[in-house]
Amino acid sequence: MTEAGAEFDPGNRLADAIPVPGWQDQIVARPDRGSGAANAHAAWRLAVAEQAARAYAASHKLAALTVAGSVGAGLADRFSDLELDCYWVDPPGDMDRSGPVHVLGGELEALWDYDHDEQEWSDDYRLGDLQVTVSSFLVSTIDRFIDDVVLRTDTDPVKHMRMAALHRARPLHGPELISAWRARAVYPDTLVAAVVERSLSADVLQGWAARDALASRGDDLAVQDLLTRAGRAVFGAVLALNGIYSPHLMIKWQSHLINWGCYRRTWRAGRSAFP
């Protein structure tokens, strides 16, 4: 949804944009790049998530609920917690957030106040030994985020994480809404250019000219910092060039993301070969 009076031409801006692959592609279903069957760590956590979804769905305010993070992407391991993303038509009250925890027999740890920077509510609780984190957003917030990123070329990492979550998460309630958002949350070429420019900016790579001097003087920590920043810069640019929204401020599951990039290049090559 665009704001009234905004001068955008989606037909021109998005002419070369293509869909972003999500959890339903076999390539993201298992960390060993296997056949697409859910791994055991993801399977039992997903079963818990399905129970949680039924508890949250008791509220008429809930428009959609997805399993996010490594469980939603089918990549969970023994270290994984359970991340749920809730999308609400109206602001959730304390009972909308805490009620399902009590229904599930969980131990509530925190109901955080609304974060105006990330525009979300977050909750933490435990179901036995399983840590559960819930992020809640208004439907109108996600609508605005999508337009900001896709139509207005917004490179805000927080908004890009939301785009990644939409594509990587597994919907358990309101799948039609999630599908509609995914269809809108493409990765336009104009955004690719903007993210690459931001990733490889001079500020990010500050100190690169002094790399030989730092190495010869034995300034190992400075060299390591420089190489780490350069690696993150290149990684961010590569994700953008492959039309992949960065899912986290930390570079988590890097092998999976690189593999996803290979899928992306193959997909685009096939699209070019068969117009």
pLDDT at 73: 87
Answer yes or no: is 167 within a domain.
Answer: yes
pLDDT at 254: 72
pLDDT 10s digits, 62-98: 999 999 999 998 888 999 999 999 999 999 999 999 9
pLDDT at 207: 87
pLDDT at 32: 42
pLDDT at 75: 87
Answer yes or no: is 125 within a domain.
Answer: yes
CATH number at residue 103: 3.30.460.10
pLDDT at 261: 55
pLDDT at 248: 81
Answer yes or no: is 13 within a domain.
Answer: no
Answer yes or no: is 169 within a domain.
Answer: yes
CB 124 within 8 A of CB 105: no
Answer yes or no: is 64 within a domain.
Answer: yes
Instruction: Print the domain residue range for 28.
Output: 18-186
90: which residues sit within 8 A by CB, 6+ positions away? 61, 138
In which order are the strands placed within the sheet that holds 121-127?
A: 107-111, 121-127, 130-138, 82-88, 62-68, 170-173
Strands (E), 117-260: 121-127, 130-138, 170-173
CA dist 167 and 247 (Å) reads: 10
pLDDT, mean of each 10-residue run, the chain (275 residues): 34 39 39 51 94 97 96 90 98 97 97 96 97 98 98 96 94 97 96 95 86 92 92 90 86 70 50 47
pLDDT at 267: 45
CA dist 200 and 236 (Å) reads: 9
CB-CB neighbours of 32 under 10 Å: 9
pLDDT at 6: 35
Answer yes or no: is 234 within a domain.
Answer: no
pLDDT at 11: 36
**Full-model pTM:** 0.79
pLDDT at 260: 60
| Residue type, position 65, single letter | L
Number of domains in the chain: 1
Place of tokens 């990684």: 235
Answer yes or no: is 153 within a domain.
Answer: yes
Answer yes or no: is 151 within a domain.
Answer: yes
